[in-house]
Amino acid sequence: MIKTIQLCPNLNKPNAAALTEEIRELLTGFGASVTVVDAREMTSCHPDCVITVGGDGTLLQVAARAADAGVPVIGINMGRLGFMTELEPTELHLLQRFICGEWTKDERMLLRVHVARNGETVYQSTALNDAVISGDARARMVELTIQADGKQLAQVAGDGLIVATPTGSTAYSLSAGGPVVEPCAEVVLLTPICPHTLDARPIILSPERKVVLQINPRSQAFISVDGQDAIALTADDMVTITRYEKKLTLMRIKPVGFMERIGSKL
């Protein structure tokens, strides 16, 4: 039974504060202890569960910290798509189900992203959706080499590359022509962005592969993880992407599976 809950709203969204207060009062009425922390400011996480109030982007903001703490997450959608979130604002009455333990686990793999420069770590992060290598605002071509387990896999020249989880396959990767991947498949998806060659195609790898991306010295590139602020990469930076040892647990209380979500959301 759920007893302690951390509500994490995106307070930049219109009406988010009012909806958050409505949810807090509802959950308190069900007997739960509730704290409210802005999704961007959540630093510790030890409740029985986290409820995000916003959209998929809000859930992405707390995903890595919740996974590290082993705390499940359920999302209330105030965004346009809400592919990862579970409930709409009109369905708040269903929260009583998960308070009583009537929910199922939807576990999602994560990726660990590590950038090394001259042998030193300069950036690292965890991705639920994807890591995106892209060019600068002047739309210059990005050239990079892809290695898997130390062996050269491909060379990409174009607007960049998306390295996505199955969860991220329905995000930017889909828009770039990548396939939709069922979350339980647990693979790593490499999708070129507007490639400048005819033979560049998405590549699906085992999650056990160690993917290393090396930026061509002629390229000016940036990396962004789960849509967060882009970090500039310099010549010969090594970007290493591996499966993260922990998973994120999404809480599901409606009998709607991945196939139904594809049909209704996309």
- CATH T-level fold of 4-102: Rossmann fold (3.40.50)
Please give the structure tokens belonging to residue 150: 């130390």
- The partner residues of 192 in beta bridges, in order of sequence, read 161
Residue 83: pLDDT band (50, 70, 90) is confident
Tell me the percentage of the chain whose pLDDT exceeds 70.
97
Beta carbons within 10 angstroms of residue 255's beta carbon: 7
Q: Are 16 and 8 in contact (CB under 8 A)?
A: no
pLDDT at 32: 92
Give the integer Cα–Cα distance in Å for 81 and 102: 25
Q: Inform me whether the pLDDT recorded for 2 exceeds 70.
A: yes
Domain ranges, ordered by start, for the chain: 4-102, 110-245
In eight-state DSSP terms, residue 93 is G
Active-site residue identified among 56, 106, 130, 159: 56
pTM above 0.95, yes or no: no
Give the integer Cα–Cα distance in Å for 168 and 188: 10
Q: Phi and psi dihedrals of 49, rounded to 5? A: -160, 165
pLDDT, one tens digit per residue, over 86-96 is 999 999 999 99
pLDDT, one tens digit per residue, over 27-49 is 999 999 999 998 887 766 789 99
Give the integer Cα–Cα distance in Å for 125 and 119: 17
Give the integer Cα–Cα distance in Å for 69 and 55: 21
pLDDT at 138: 66
pLDDT at 265: 66
Q: Inform me whether the pLDDT recorded for 137 exceeds 70.
A: no
In eight-state DSSP terms, residue 87 is B
Report, as an integer, the average pLDDT of 110-126. Answer: 95
Q: Inform me whether the pLDDT recorded for 182 exceeds 80.
A: yes
Q: Inform me whether the pLDDT recorded for 82 exceeds 90.
A: no
- Is residue 237 part of the annotated active site? The answer reads no
Beta-sheet pairing, 151-158 with 203-205: unpaired
Distance between alpha carbon 255 and the CA centroid of its chain, in Å? 23
Q: Helix (H, G, I), strand (E, B), or coil: what is residue 234?
A: coil
Q: Are 36 and 11 in contact (CB under 8 A)?
A: no
Residue 243: pLDDT band (50, 70, 90) is very high
pLDDT at 44: 67
Residue 139: pLDDT band (50, 70, 90) is low
Q: Inform me whether the pLDDT recorded for 264 exceeds 80.
A: no
Q: Enter the CATH code of domain 110-245.
A: 2.60.200.30
Q: Are 58 and 88 in contact (CB under 8 A)?
A: no
- The partner residues of 74 in beta bridges, in order of sequence, read 51
